[in-house]
Structure 1
Amino acid sequence: MKIADIGNQPCSVARTLSVIGDTWSMMIIRNAFLGIRRFDDFHKNLGVTRHVLTARLNTLVEEEILYKAPYTETQKRFEYRLTQKGLDLYPILMSIIHWGDTYMDKGQGAPVDCIHKTCGHKFHPVMVCSECSEPLNPKQVKVEIGKGLSVFNAEKVKEA
């Protein structure tokens, strides 16, 4: 299978990675959450080539993760803002930050601390069950075939 075809699989991980799985897209999304909105600011902060940045921003707009909003009337200049679909990537970003802080800090500690504005405390993201609010542990999660998987692929999964 070609990497370009990964998004055609009946797999939520593959479909998601087909949109945000490259390095620059996640860094752009991270910067958008940090309040960076303009092309030149993304370019300056990330150090990515203008060509790659343009391509990634266009993809994120096409996928409705970001939208373009004009910030000047005269020069038709745009800034990039997160859509609801983009905002819904926040838990993924927080999980990546937490994993990186835990395993990739090279003994130097976290580069940034996350502070919950409501209570004022530093926090670590915790994934909980939407039904009972208990923290999730991979050993306590069972995966079953859902309706989005075709019968043909369901049979292939059972055989494996």
Structure 2
Amino acid sequence: MRRSSFANWPCSIARTMDLLGDWWTPLVLREAFYGVRRFDEFQHSLGIARNTLTDRLRRLVDEGLMEKQPYQTQPVRHDYVLTEMGRDFFGVLLAMNAWGDRWLADEQGPPIVFHHDRCGHRGRPAVVCDDCGEPMTADDTRPRLGPGYPTRLAERPDVRERFAD
């Protein structure tokens, strides 16, 4: 049975979830950020079924987050390398990691920490306003309709109320 698609929803969160599709895809991307490039390495590190991994890697390549680069010709074998679009997903994984560290880590602390090479310190990600640099939180940030929101939906009273200034 085919699942519903969120690809055309006027919501970047829904579209991102549509692209990710399942729980394995972010883990494949995580492993790529950890330096994994080869099919067998992904399979070994994740313990994922080969057919599932094949599907996830194919989707990531098709959607432009990874690209295949041949490293062997007989038989043909590929490295799976993050593209610019894929590397840009790093912030999403950092945000998920920070949330998990705060709410799901045990008393020993976070299982993985991140070293920021630029400043030389261990860093924790923060979502900040790109204009003022201040943190953006659920208490002080409101969604508003953007230029890509469909006009036919923006005219609905419930939508106007939800995104009112």
- TM-score bucket of the superposed structures, by smaller chain: over 0.9
User: What is the identity percentage for the equivalent residue pairs of Structure 1 and Structure 2?
Assistant: 38
Structure 1 residue 91 and structure 2 residue 119: aligned? Answer: no
Instruction: Name 2:48's counterpart in structure 1.
Output: 48
1:1-160 equivalences under 5 Å are 3-156=3-156, 157-158=159-160
Q: TM-score, normalised by structure 1?
A: 0.92
Q: Which moved more, 1:124-133 or 1:48-57?
A: 124-133
Deviation at 1:138, TM superposition (A): 2.1
Superposed structure 1 runs of 4+ greater than 6 Å apart: none
The DSSP-based 3-state class of the residue aligned with 2:76 is coil
User: For structure 2, which runs of at least 5 residues remain unmatched after alignment?
Assistant: none
Q: Which one has a larger percent helix, Structure 1 or Structure 2?
A: 1
Q: Which moved more, 1:128-137 or 1:63-72?
A: 128-137
The AA in structure 1 aligned to 2:93 is: L
Q: Distance in 1 between matches of 2:18 and 2:107?
A: 33
Q: Distance in 2 between matches of 1:143 and 1:72?
A: 49
Alpha-carbon spacing, 1:151–1:25, altered in 2? closer, same or farther (3 Å): same
Q: Distance in 2 between matches of 1:152 and 1:108?
A: 51
Q: Which moved more, 1:106-115 or 1:35-44?
A: 106-115
Q: State the number of aligned residues.
A: 159
Deviation at 1:141, TM superposition (A): 1.5
User: For structure 1, which runs of at least 5 residues remain unmatched after alignment?
Assistant: none
What are the superposed Cα offsets for residues 40-86 of structure 1, whole Å, 9 maximum, x if unpaired? 00000101101110001100000000000001233211010000000
Q: TM-score, normalised by structure 2?
A: 0.90
Q: Distance in 1 between matches of 2:56 and 2:150?
A: 31
Q: Which one has a larger percent strand, Structure 1 or Structure 2?
A: 2
Deviation at 1:147, TM superposition (A): 1.7
